[in-house]
Amino acid sequence: MRPDHPPTRTEALSRLQDFLPHAGRDYAARRNYDLAGHPNVSVLSPYIRHRLITEEEVLAAVLGRFARSTAEKFIQEVFWRTYWKGWLEMRPGVWSDYRRGVRAGLDRVATEAGLRAQWEAACKGETGIDAFDHWARELAETGYLHNHARMWFASIWIFTLELPWELGADFFLRHLLDGDAASNTLSWRWVAGLQTRGKHYLARGANIAKYTEGRFNPGYQLNTGARPLEGPPPPERSAAPKGGKVPQTGRIGWLLTDEDLSPGPLIGEGPAAATLFVTSADARSPLTVAPGVSAFADGAFADTASRYSDRLGKVTGPVRLEDLPDSFEAWIDDHRLDAVVMPHVPVGPAADGLAGLIAVGRITPVLRPYDAMCWPNATVGFFGFKKKIPALLDGLGLVPAA
Protein backbone atom coordinates (compact mmCIF):
# COMPACT_ATOMS: atom_id res chain seq x y z
CA MET A 1 0.00 0.00 0.00
CA ARG A 2 1.31 3.44 -0.89
CA PRO A 3 1.82 5.94 1.98
CA ASP A 4 -1.11 8.10 0.83
CA HIS A 5 -2.47 8.50 4.36
CA PRO A 6 0.16 9.22 7.02
CA PRO A 7 -1.55 8.20 10.29
CA THR A 8 -1.02 11.37 12.31
CA ARG A 9 -3.18 14.12 13.72
CA THR A 10 -0.89 16.66 12.06
CA GLU A 11 -1.78 15.16 8.68
CA ALA A 12 -5.48 15.23 9.56
CA LEU A 13 -5.34 18.91 10.50
CA SER A 14 -3.40 19.72 7.34
CA ARG A 15 -5.97 17.98 5.16
CA LEU A 16 -8.78 19.75 6.96
CA GLN A 17 -7.19 23.15 6.36
CA ASP A 18 -6.61 22.35 2.69
CA PHE A 19 -10.21 21.25 2.25
CA LEU A 20 -11.94 24.02 4.23
CA PRO A 21 -12.17 26.55 1.37
CA HIS A 22 -14.06 23.90 -0.64
CA ALA A 23 -16.42 22.66 2.10
CA GLY A 24 -19.28 24.92 0.98
CA ARG A 25 -20.70 25.26 -2.50
CA ASP A 26 -17.73 23.53 -4.15
CA TYR A 27 -18.39 20.38 -2.18
CA ALA A 28 -22.13 20.51 -2.81
CA ALA A 29 -21.59 20.80 -6.56
CA ARG A 30 -18.75 18.28 -7.06
CA ARG A 31 -18.90 15.79 -4.18
CA ASN A 32 -20.38 12.97 -6.29
CA TYR A 33 -17.60 13.01 -8.89
CA ASP A 34 -15.13 10.15 -8.51
CA LEU A 35 -12.01 11.53 -10.18
CA ALA A 36 -8.35 10.60 -9.94
CA GLY A 37 -6.83 11.96 -6.75
CA HIS A 38 -10.27 12.63 -5.21
CA PRO A 39 -10.02 16.43 -5.51
CA ASN A 40 -13.63 17.13 -4.53
CA VAL A 41 -13.83 15.43 -1.14
CA SER A 42 -11.94 15.86 2.13
CA VAL A 43 -10.46 12.32 2.42
CA LEU A 44 -10.63 12.84 6.19
CA SER A 45 -12.52 9.62 6.89
CA PRO A 46 -9.50 7.48 7.97
CA TYR A 47 -8.67 10.12 10.57
CA ILE A 48 -12.23 10.61 11.80
CA ARG A 49 -12.76 6.85 11.98
CA HIS A 50 -9.82 6.55 14.43
CA ARG A 51 -10.68 9.90 15.99
CA LEU A 52 -7.26 11.34 15.38
CA ILE A 53 -9.54 14.27 14.63
CA THR A 54 -13.10 14.28 15.91
CA GLU A 55 -16.39 14.97 14.15
CA GLU A 56 -16.95 17.92 16.45
CA GLU A 57 -13.61 19.48 15.49
CA VAL A 58 -14.36 19.11 11.78
CA LEU A 59 -17.81 20.64 12.16
CA ALA A 60 -16.42 23.53 14.23
CA ALA A 61 -13.81 24.29 11.59
CA VAL A 62 -16.35 24.27 8.76
CA LEU A 63 -18.82 26.43 10.66
CA GLY A 64 -16.01 28.80 11.51
CA ARG A 65 -15.84 29.58 7.81
CA PHE A 66 -19.31 29.03 6.35
CA ALA A 67 -22.96 29.53 7.20
CA ARG A 68 -24.83 26.32 7.91
CA SER A 69 -26.82 26.62 4.70
CA THR A 70 -23.68 27.03 2.60
CA ALA A 71 -21.95 23.98 4.10
CA GLU A 72 -25.13 21.95 4.54
CA LYS A 73 -24.10 19.02 2.33
CA PHE A 74 -20.73 18.55 4.02
CA ILE A 75 -22.25 18.91 7.48
CA GLN A 76 -24.76 16.22 6.60
CA GLU A 77 -21.95 13.96 5.40
CA VAL A 78 -20.22 14.22 8.77
CA PHE A 79 -23.48 13.45 10.53
CA TRP A 80 -24.14 10.39 8.34
CA ARG A 81 -21.28 8.62 10.13
CA THR A 82 -22.69 9.74 13.48
CA TYR A 83 -26.17 8.58 12.54
CA TRP A 84 -24.99 5.13 11.45
CA LYS A 85 -23.11 4.68 14.73
CA GLY A 86 -26.11 5.70 16.82
CA TRP A 87 -28.45 3.48 14.80
CA LEU A 88 -26.24 0.42 15.33
CA GLU A 89 -25.60 1.21 19.00
CA MET A 90 -29.32 0.76 19.58
CA ARG A 91 -29.56 -2.36 17.37
CA PRO A 92 -26.36 -4.34 17.99
CA GLY A 93 -28.00 -7.54 16.78
CA VAL A 94 -27.61 -6.30 13.20
CA TRP A 95 -23.83 -6.43 13.61
CA SER A 96 -24.03 -9.94 15.08
CA ASP A 97 -26.21 -11.05 12.16
CA TYR A 98 -23.70 -9.59 9.71
CA ARG A 99 -20.82 -11.48 11.34
CA ARG A 100 -22.78 -14.72 11.10
CA GLY A 101 -23.48 -13.91 7.46
CA VAL A 102 -19.76 -13.50 6.77
CA ARG A 103 -18.98 -16.88 8.31
CA ALA A 104 -21.79 -18.51 6.32
CA GLY A 105 -20.54 -16.87 3.12
CA LEU A 106 -17.00 -18.08 3.73
CA ASP A 107 -18.33 -21.58 4.37
CA ARG A 108 -20.02 -21.44 0.98
CA VAL A 109 -16.83 -20.17 -0.66
CA ALA A 110 -14.98 -23.14 0.80
CA THR A 111 -17.46 -25.68 -0.58
CA GLU A 112 -18.80 -24.15 -3.82
CA ALA A 113 -16.08 -23.95 -6.48
CA GLY A 114 -18.06 -21.67 -8.77
CA LEU A 115 -18.81 -19.17 -6.04
CA ARG A 116 -15.19 -19.24 -4.90
CA ALA A 117 -13.97 -18.42 -8.42
CA GLN A 118 -16.42 -15.51 -8.73
CA TRP A 119 -15.52 -14.18 -5.26
CA GLU A 120 -11.79 -14.39 -5.95
CA ALA A 121 -12.20 -12.63 -9.30
CA ALA A 122 -14.16 -9.82 -7.63
CA CYS A 123 -11.59 -9.40 -4.85
CA LYS A 124 -8.70 -9.35 -7.34
CA GLY A 125 -10.44 -6.99 -9.77
CA GLU A 126 -10.66 -9.55 -12.56
CA THR A 127 -14.37 -9.56 -13.41
CA GLY A 128 -14.12 -7.89 -16.82
CA ILE A 129 -16.16 -4.88 -15.63
CA ASP A 130 -13.53 -2.16 -15.96
CA ALA A 131 -14.96 0.25 -13.40
CA PHE A 132 -15.46 -2.42 -10.77
CA ASP A 133 -12.04 -3.95 -11.37
CA HIS A 134 -10.39 -0.54 -11.08
CA TRP A 135 -12.10 0.14 -7.74
CA ALA A 136 -11.15 -3.29 -6.38
CA ARG A 137 -7.50 -2.65 -7.22
CA GLU A 138 -7.61 0.97 -6.02
CA LEU A 139 -9.00 -0.16 -2.68
CA ALA A 140 -6.36 -2.86 -2.28
CA GLU A 141 -3.56 -0.45 -3.22
CA THR A 142 -4.61 2.68 -1.30
CA GLY A 143 -7.08 1.64 1.41
CA TYR A 144 -9.56 4.23 0.19
CA LEU A 145 -12.48 4.64 -2.22
CA HIS A 146 -14.67 7.62 -3.03
CA ASN A 147 -18.10 7.29 -1.42
CA HIS A 148 -19.93 7.18 -4.76
CA ALA A 149 -17.57 4.45 -5.97
CA ARG A 150 -18.35 2.46 -2.83
CA MET A 151 -22.05 2.55 -3.68
CA TRP A 152 -21.46 1.52 -7.30
CA PHE A 153 -19.07 -1.23 -6.22
CA ALA A 154 -21.50 -2.63 -3.64
CA SER A 155 -24.37 -2.58 -6.11
CA ILE A 156 -22.39 -4.40 -8.79
CA TRP A 157 -21.13 -6.95 -6.24
CA ILE A 158 -24.67 -7.70 -5.04
CA PHE A 159 -26.87 -7.38 -8.11
CA THR A 160 -24.62 -7.98 -11.14
CA LEU A 161 -22.07 -10.45 -9.76
CA GLU A 162 -24.71 -11.89 -7.37
CA LEU A 163 -22.23 -12.45 -4.56
CA PRO A 164 -23.23 -12.52 -0.86
CA TRP A 165 -23.42 -8.94 0.36
CA GLU A 166 -21.74 -9.84 3.63
CA LEU A 167 -18.61 -10.96 1.77
CA GLY A 168 -18.51 -7.62 -0.03
CA ALA A 169 -18.81 -5.74 3.24
CA ASP A 170 -16.05 -7.96 4.61
CA PHE A 171 -13.85 -7.17 1.60
CA PHE A 172 -14.26 -3.48 2.42
CA LEU A 173 -13.50 -3.96 6.12
CA ARG A 174 -10.34 -5.89 5.24
CA HIS A 175 -9.01 -3.05 3.10
CA LEU A 176 -10.55 0.30 4.05
CA LEU A 177 -8.44 2.48 6.31
CA ASP A 178 -11.72 4.04 7.45
CA GLY A 179 -13.44 0.66 7.76
CA ASP A 180 -16.12 1.21 10.40
CA ALA A 181 -18.55 -1.43 11.65
CA ALA A 182 -21.58 0.86 11.55
CA SER A 183 -20.98 2.86 8.37
CA ASN A 184 -19.79 -0.14 6.39
CA THR A 185 -22.36 -2.71 7.49
CA LEU A 186 -25.35 -0.40 7.26
CA SER A 187 -24.30 1.15 3.94
CA TRP A 188 -24.05 -2.29 2.36
CA ARG A 189 -27.44 -3.17 3.84
CA TRP A 190 -28.85 0.03 2.37
CA VAL A 191 -27.53 -0.75 -1.12
CA ALA A 192 -28.96 -4.27 -0.85
CA GLY A 193 -32.43 -3.03 0.12
CA LEU A 194 -32.28 -4.46 3.64
CA GLN A 195 -31.77 -1.26 5.61
CA THR A 196 -34.62 0.73 4.07
CA ARG A 197 -36.67 -2.32 3.28
CA GLY A 198 -37.56 -2.73 -0.36
CA LYS A 199 -35.48 0.27 -1.44
CA HIS A 200 -32.16 -0.69 -3.00
CA TYR A 201 -29.49 1.09 -5.03
CA LEU A 202 -28.82 -0.03 -8.59
CA ALA A 203 -25.64 1.15 -10.30
CA ARG A 204 -26.23 2.35 -13.86
CA GLY A 205 -23.69 2.75 -16.62
CA ALA A 206 -24.79 6.26 -17.57
CA ASN A 207 -24.50 7.45 -13.96
CA ILE A 208 -21.01 5.99 -13.65
CA ALA A 209 -19.95 7.57 -16.93
CA LYS A 210 -21.27 10.97 -15.83
CA TYR A 211 -19.70 11.04 -12.39
CA THR A 212 -16.36 9.61 -13.50
CA GLU A 213 -16.33 12.10 -16.41
CA GLY A 214 -16.04 9.28 -18.92
CA ARG A 215 -13.26 7.36 -17.20
CA PHE A 216 -15.60 4.36 -17.05
CA ASN A 217 -18.79 3.35 -18.81
CA PRO A 218 -19.87 -0.23 -18.13
CA GLY A 219 -22.88 0.25 -20.38
CA TYR A 220 -25.04 -2.86 -20.54
CA GLN A 221 -22.77 -5.02 -18.36
CA LEU A 222 -24.75 -4.11 -15.26
CA ASN A 223 -27.96 -5.68 -14.01
CA THR A 224 -30.33 -2.73 -13.73
CA GLY A 225 -33.48 -4.78 -13.20
CA ALA A 226 -32.58 -6.64 -10.01
CA ARG A 227 -34.98 -6.77 -7.11
CA PRO A 228 -33.99 -5.80 -3.56
CA LEU A 229 -32.67 -8.54 -1.34
CA GLU A 230 -35.04 -9.93 1.24
CA GLY A 231 -34.28 -10.49 4.89
CA PRO A 232 -35.74 -10.26 8.36
CA PRO A 233 -36.59 -6.84 9.81
CA PRO A 234 -34.02 -5.31 12.16
CA PRO A 235 -34.42 -6.08 15.86
CA GLU A 236 -36.32 -3.76 18.17
CA ARG A 237 -34.44 -0.66 19.22
CA SER A 238 -32.74 -0.75 22.60
CA ALA A 239 -31.70 2.23 24.70
CA ALA A 240 -28.71 4.30 23.65
CA PRO A 241 -25.60 3.80 25.84
CA LYS A 242 -25.10 6.07 28.83
CA GLY A 243 -21.46 5.63 29.79
CA GLY A 244 -19.81 5.91 33.18
CA LYS A 245 -17.67 8.53 34.90
CA VAL A 246 -13.94 8.83 35.40
CA PRO A 247 -13.04 8.15 39.06
CA GLN A 248 -11.66 11.20 40.83
CA THR A 249 -9.33 9.32 43.17
CA GLY A 250 -6.92 6.40 43.02
CA ARG A 251 -4.53 5.21 40.35
CA ILE A 252 -6.40 5.34 37.05
CA GLY A 253 -5.38 3.39 33.99
CA TRP A 254 -6.70 4.21 30.52
CA LEU A 255 -7.41 1.62 27.86
CA LEU A 256 -7.41 3.17 24.39
CA THR A 257 -8.53 1.37 21.25
CA ASP A 258 -8.20 2.35 17.62
CA GLU A 259 -11.80 3.60 17.82
CA ASP A 260 -10.89 6.79 19.71
CA LEU A 261 -7.39 8.28 19.82
CA SER A 262 -8.17 11.82 20.97
CA PRO A 263 -8.62 11.09 24.69
CA GLY A 264 -7.50 14.47 26.00
CA PRO A 265 -10.92 15.93 26.88
CA LEU A 266 -11.87 12.71 28.67
CA ILE A 267 -8.63 12.29 30.61
CA GLY A 268 -8.63 15.90 31.80
CA GLU A 269 -5.60 17.60 33.26
CA GLY A 270 -4.40 14.88 35.61
CA PRO A 271 -2.08 12.31 34.00
CA ALA A 272 -3.04 8.65 33.92
CA ALA A 273 -1.02 6.16 35.95
CA ALA A 274 -0.68 3.96 32.86
CA THR A 275 -2.25 3.45 29.44
CA LEU A 276 -2.87 0.25 27.50
CA PHE A 277 -3.30 0.45 23.74
CA VAL A 278 -5.53 -2.29 22.28
CA THR A 279 -5.87 -2.71 18.52
CA SER A 280 -8.92 -4.27 16.92
CA ALA A 281 -7.65 -3.87 13.34
CA ASP A 282 -6.90 -7.60 12.91
CA ALA A 283 -10.35 -8.46 14.28
CA ARG A 284 -12.31 -6.69 11.54
CA SER A 285 -12.56 -9.89 9.53
CA PRO A 286 -12.10 -13.63 10.01
CA LEU A 287 -9.73 -13.39 7.03
CA THR A 288 -6.37 -11.64 6.95
CA VAL A 289 -6.74 -7.87 7.09
CA ALA A 290 -4.69 -5.81 4.63
CA PRO A 291 -1.28 -4.85 6.06
CA GLY A 292 -2.01 -1.17 5.51
CA VAL A 293 -5.05 -1.29 7.79
CA SER A 294 -3.01 -2.63 10.70
CA ALA A 295 -0.13 -0.30 9.88
CA PHE A 296 -2.42 2.75 9.93
CA ALA A 297 -3.80 1.76 13.34
CA ASP A 298 -0.30 1.12 14.72
CA GLY A 299 0.91 4.46 13.38
CA ALA A 300 -2.09 6.21 14.92
CA PHE A 301 -1.26 4.64 18.29
CA ALA A 302 2.34 5.83 18.00
CA ASP A 303 1.17 9.34 17.14
CA THR A 304 -1.19 9.35 20.13
CA ALA A 305 1.56 8.18 22.48
CA SER A 306 3.77 11.02 21.26
CA ARG A 307 1.09 13.71 21.48
CA TYR A 308 0.00 12.73 24.98
CA SER A 309 3.37 11.66 26.34
CA ASP A 310 2.88 13.75 29.50
CA ARG A 311 -0.65 12.51 30.26
CA LEU A 312 -0.78 8.80 29.50
CA GLY A 313 1.71 7.53 32.08
CA LYS A 314 3.54 4.35 31.14
CA VAL A 315 2.24 3.20 27.73
CA THR A 316 1.92 -0.49 26.87
CA GLY A 317 0.98 -1.92 23.48
CA PRO A 318 -0.71 -1.96 21.12
CA VAL A 319 -1.97 -5.36 22.22
CA ARG A 320 -4.19 -7.36 19.92
CA LEU A 321 -7.67 -8.20 21.17
CA GLU A 322 -6.98 -11.91 21.02
CA ASP A 323 -3.97 -11.45 23.32
CA LEU A 324 -5.75 -9.19 25.81
CA PRO A 325 -7.02 -11.87 28.24
CA ASP A 326 -3.44 -12.96 28.95
CA SER A 327 -2.09 -9.44 29.49
CA PHE A 328 -4.87 -7.32 31.01
CA GLU A 329 -4.73 -8.46 34.64
CA ALA A 330 -0.92 -8.49 34.60
CA TRP A 331 -0.96 -4.90 33.31
CA ILE A 332 -3.28 -3.84 36.16
CA ASP A 333 -1.08 -5.55 38.74
CA ASP A 334 2.17 -4.16 37.32
CA HIS A 335 0.88 -0.60 37.61
CA ARG A 336 -1.12 -1.08 40.84
CA LEU A 337 -4.25 0.33 39.23
CA ASP A 338 -7.42 1.00 41.17
CA ALA A 339 -9.63 1.41 38.10
CA VAL A 340 -9.48 1.20 34.30
CA VAL A 341 -11.38 3.66 32.11
CA MET A 342 -11.73 3.88 28.33
CA PRO A 343 -13.62 5.98 25.77
CA HIS A 344 -16.84 4.15 24.92
CA VAL A 345 -16.19 1.61 22.18
CA PRO A 346 -19.06 1.48 19.66
CA VAL A 347 -20.58 -1.73 18.33
CA GLY A 348 -17.99 -3.60 16.31
CA PRO A 349 -14.98 -5.89 16.73
CA ALA A 350 -13.40 -3.90 19.57
CA ALA A 351 -16.66 -3.93 21.54
CA ASP A 352 -16.99 -7.67 20.92
CA GLY A 353 -13.52 -8.31 22.29
CA LEU A 354 -13.93 -6.10 25.36
CA ALA A 355 -17.52 -7.02 26.24
CA GLY A 356 -16.56 -9.57 28.88
CA LEU A 357 -14.27 -7.19 30.78
CA ILE A 358 -16.88 -4.43 30.65
CA ALA A 359 -19.66 -6.76 31.79
CA VAL A 360 -17.79 -7.74 34.96
CA GLY A 361 -16.86 -4.16 35.76
CA ARG A 362 -13.15 -4.38 35.01
CA ILE A 363 -13.38 -1.48 32.54
CA THR A 364 -15.58 1.62 32.78
CA PRO A 365 -16.55 3.10 29.39
CA VAL A 366 -16.91 6.91 29.25
CA LEU A 367 -19.16 8.43 26.60
CA ARG A 368 -18.22 11.59 24.75
CA PRO A 369 -20.81 14.40 25.06
CA TYR A 370 -21.03 14.52 21.24
CA ASP A 371 -22.05 10.85 21.07
CA ALA A 372 -24.33 11.12 24.10
CA MET A 373 -26.19 13.98 22.45
CA CYS A 374 -26.38 12.65 18.91
CA TRP A 375 -26.79 8.88 19.07
CA PRO A 376 -30.21 8.75 20.81
CA ASN A 377 -31.66 10.65 17.83
CA ALA A 378 -30.87 7.83 15.38
CA THR A 379 -34.25 6.25 15.99
CA VAL A 380 -35.59 6.01 12.43
CA GLY A 381 -34.20 6.93 9.00
CA PHE A 382 -31.54 9.52 8.30
CA PHE A 383 -34.02 12.07 7.02
CA GLY A 384 -35.67 12.18 10.42
CA PHE A 385 -32.24 12.54 12.01
CA LYS A 386 -31.32 15.26 9.51
CA LYS A 387 -34.14 17.47 10.74
CA LYS A 388 -32.50 17.50 14.16
CA ILE A 389 -29.06 18.57 12.95
CA PRO A 390 -29.63 22.32 13.59
CA ALA A 391 -30.69 21.61 17.18
CA LEU A 392 -27.72 19.26 17.65
CA LEU A 393 -25.32 21.92 16.40
CA ASP A 394 -26.89 24.42 18.80
CA GLY A 395 -26.61 21.95 21.66
CA LEU A 396 -22.94 21.38 20.86
CA GLY A 397 -22.32 25.11 20.81
CA LEU A 398 -21.19 25.09 17.19
CA VAL A 399 -22.00 28.59 16.01
CA PRO A 400 -21.69 29.28 12.26
CA ALA A 401 -19.63 32.07 10.79
CA ALA A 402 -21.31 35.48 10.74
Count the Cβ atoms, other than its own, within 10 Å of residue 26: 14
Spacing of C-alpha 99 from chain mean position = 16
Average of per-residue pLDDT across 16-44: 97
**What average pLDDT does range 262-270 have in this prediction?**
82
What stretches of 231-333 adopt beta strand conformation (E)? 252-257, 274-279, 314-320
Indicate the pLDDT class of residue 269, thresholds 50, 70 and 90. low
pLDDT band with cut points at 50, 70 and 90 for residue 139? very high
- In the chain, where are the structural domains located? 9-89+375-395, 102-221, 252-366
For the packed helices 113-124 and 130-142, what is the interaxial angle rounded to 10 degrees?
70
Q: CATH number for the 252-366 domain, one of 3.40.50.620, 3.40.50.300, 1.20.1440.230, 3.30.300.10?
A: 3.40.50.620
Region 391-400: mean pLDDT is 90
User: pTM score > 0.85 for this model?
Assistant: yes
Q: What is the pLDDT of residues 216-245, one digit of tens each?
A: 999 899 999 999 999 988 889 999 999 888
- What pLDDT is stored for residue 377 in this prediction? 97
Q: Quick one: average pLDDT of 24-35?
A: 97
Tell whether the model's pLDDT for residue 2 goes beyond 70.
no
The pLDDT of residue 258: 98
Mean pLDDT of 252-275: 90
| pLDDT of res. 3 | 45
- Give yes or no for residue 380 having a pLDDT over 60: yes
CATH of domain 102-221: 1.10.579.10
Cα separation of 251 and 176, whole Å? 37
Report the candidate in 332, 338, 334, 353 with the shortest Cα–Cα distance to residue 278: 353
Mean pLDDT of 177-205: 96
User: Per CATH, the architecture of 9-89+375-395 is what?
Assistant: Alpha Horseshoe (1.25)
CA–CA dist 357, 278 (Å, integer)? 13
pLDDT digits (tens, 9 = 90+) for 84-127: 999 999 999 999 999 999 999 999 999 999 999 999 999 999 99
Res. 401 pLDDT band, cuts 50 70 90: low
Q: Report the mean per-residue pLDDT for the chain.
A: 95
pLDDT exceeds 50 at position 389: yes
| Overall average pLDDT of the 310-337 stretch | 94
Q: Is the pLDDT of residue 402 over 60?
A: no
Q: Is the pLDDT of residue 378 over 50?
A: yes
**Cβ(46)–Cβ(177) under 8 Å?**
yes
Average confidence (pLDDT) over 343-357: 96
CB 273 within 8 A of CB 131: no
